[in-house]
Every structure is written in structure tokens, then in C-alpha cells.
Amino acid sequence: QSKVLTIGEVLVEIVATERGDGFREPVKLIGPFPSGAPAIFIDQVGKLGQAAAIISRVGDDDFGHVNLDRLKRDGVDVSGIEVDPLGTTGSAFVRYREDGGRNFVFNIRHSACGTIELKGPAADLVESCTHMHVMGSSLYAPSVVDAVLKATRTIKENGGTVSFDPNLRAEILNSPGMREALATVLAETDLFLPSGEELFLFSPADSEAEAIANLLKSGVKAVVLKRGAAGASYVDATREISLPGFRVTEVDPTGAGDCFGATFVTFWLGGADPETALRYANAAGARAVTRSGPMEGASTRAELDALIAEQRS
């Protein structure tokens, strides 16, 4: 059976219970919720029963253990999460504004996960995994970039596959060496999962079709385009499939793209046809937005089946 690996930040989110602007005044908070795009992604993979592992680093504190406990419970191999007795687990304070946008205060720059290394159990995991999923947002610290690029190359050389979700915020794109790292990952990518304008960041063109065609020409095997509430599309050399999103009430959009990607990758690795993989991924993305908290909306297979059945009838 294939085993999915990802590398990157593990943190907690602490969320303001009332909408408003930022944190300049005292506000009621709820949390900590386990978070970090790679952590949400791999939790969703584990919840679907697929072999899954993550390489990261946390402090020996409750924020780290909240993540370790949740990932373990959901079936993720956490042997690659090093617990650093002198480190601190990252955190993010989040407040939703009335306009639906979000304000963040991040405490992640100096957190334990900024110094991930491929040694010991982490190095063993790279050898035993057959699929690497890269999150662009993880490529913010030189040691993480190094670990991601090494693991990606090793898994590819061992005959495995690579998926890549750019998951980019503008401030990350301009960090030193970021663009080179992204280009290196893209060159190894089988399955590329951008959303919206991210497609054009990687493949400048006049139209979506042209941007995707150029990616396929450059060696990417398939492009999966996330379109928020409108659903998603799949394009490879011979097929083009678009499916509408499921109708749900959005409570918290965090994690939709990660749960979507995790589900697509899991079904794709399992040999499902692209339409089935896209349908389940859409269902996972839709369910993710119905729950408050980044990882709280990850779904089991039965929950995805139920949503698909409910909206088919």
C-alpha cells in the first residue's frame, strides 16, 4: 500500500469567538485547535484510512501535544514529529472580520517547526513513504525547504509520486530562495493542486486553458484546480472534468483546500477515476467549511458518502 508523507508546520489556532477587527481590544477566545496546513492535510489523509506520516517539530508543551494526540488518533504516523524539550510550538490567533476576511497574529517564526531535519526516524520515513505532498506555505524556513526538497527527490528517485499545493500567501512568496524552491518542486510534481490565481503565478498565460496546457507540457501529469464554493476541475493530457461544489453553509473556510487535496490524493493513489476522486475531494472541501476550527472539519469516508448521497437525491 502507498504511504503519504508531508513535511511542514504544526501549530495551534486560537480563534476569537466574535467577529470584528483584530486583537487591539480584549476579546473572548476559543482553542487551541490543532492546525498547520500540512497537519490538516495529513490528518484528513489518515482519517480516510490511508497510510500517512508527517515530518515536523514541536515543543514539549500542550500545543505540541494537542497536535500529536489528534494526529495519532486519526491514524497518522507521528514518528517523524520530533519533540524538542527546549522548543515552543507555534500558534496563530485568528479573528474573522464582518466582511468574511481574517486577521491573524502568528507566533511561528521562532517556533520549533522552523528547524526540521531529516535525521533519525524522519529519514527512515522518507525511505518508507511512496508519495510526497508539498505545501508551498511550508517553504518559509531554509531548513524546511532543504528537508522538503531532499524528501521529494528521494521519493521520486525511489519510484514514488509527488503532489503539490502552492497554498501561498504573498508575504511568503518573496522570502529568500522561495521562488527557486517552488520551481524545483514543480519540476518533480505529478499532481498540481492550485487554487484561483495561484495557477497563473506558476504558469503565466492569457487563459486558464493555456496555463494548464503549459504545465502539462512541462511534465505535470494532472492539474486539479480548486474553485471554492464553485467546486473544482481536473485536467490531464486526455480528460477535462469539472464538478460543482456541494451546497453547504460556510462557517470557517480554513482547511478546505487541505482536506480537498488530501482526499483527492488518497483516491488518486487508490486508483479511483479522476471524476470519483474529484467528487470526494469536493465533498471533503465542503464539509471542512461547515465546522469551526481548522482541522475540525476533516471527514471520514462514511461522512463523505453521506454528503454525496444526500445531494444526489
Positions in the binding site for ligand ATP (CB under 6 A): 167, 195, 226-229, 231-232, 245-246, 248, 250, 253-258, 260, 282, 285-286, 289
Cα distance between residue 13 and residue 90, in whole Å: 9
Cα distance between residue 120 and residue 134, in whole Å: 21
* Distance of closest approach, residue 221 Cβ to ligand ATP, in angstroms: 19
* Distance of closest approach, residue 226 Cβ to ligand ATP, in angstroms: 3
Q: Which is nearer to ligand ATP, 141 or 286 (CB)?
A: 286
Cα distance between residue 297 and residue 224, in whole Å: 21
Q: Which is nearer to ligand ATP, 44 or 89 (CB)?
A: 44
Distances (CA, A) of 206 to 197, 214, 216, 224, 298: 12, 11, 16, 19, 36
B/e letters for 59-88, b = 16+ CB within 10 Å, e = fewer, are bebebbebbbebbeebbbbbebbbbbeebb
The four Cα atoms 113, 88, 51, 74 give a dihedral, to 10 degrees, of -150
Q: Which is nearer to ligand ATP, 205 or 248 (CB)?
A: 248
Strand duo 29-35 + 191-192: pairing: unpaired
> Pick from 160, 143, 166: which is nearest to 56 by CA?
143
Q: Which is nearer to ligand ATP, 63 or 280 (CB)?
A: 280
Contacts of 278 (CB under 8 A, 6+ apart): 224, 232, 233, 234, 241, 243, 264
* Distance of closest approach, residue 247 Cβ to ligand ATP, in angstroms: 7
* Distance of closest approach, residue 299 Cβ to ligand ATP, in angstroms: 12
Q: Which is nearer to ligand ATP, 46 or 136 (CB)?
A: 136
Q: Which is nearer to ligand ATP, 88 or 167 (CB)?
A: 167
* Distance of closest approach, residue 171 Cβ to ligand ATP, in angstroms: 15
Q: Which is nearer to ligand ATP, 67 or 88 (CB)?
A: 67
Do the Cβ atoms of 71 and 42 come closer than 8 Å? yes
Q: Which is nearer to ligand ATP, 32 or 257 (CB)?
A: 257
* Distance of closest approach, residue 177 Cβ to ligand ATP, in angstroms: 23
* Distance of closest approach, residue 262 Cβ to ligand ATP, in angstroms: 11
* Distance of closest approach, residue 85 Cβ to ligand ATP, in angstroms: 32
Cα distance between residue 39 and residue 53, in whole Å: 10
Q: What is the CA radius of gyration of the chain?
A: 18
Distances (CA, A) of 37 to 9, 28, 134: 7, 24, 10
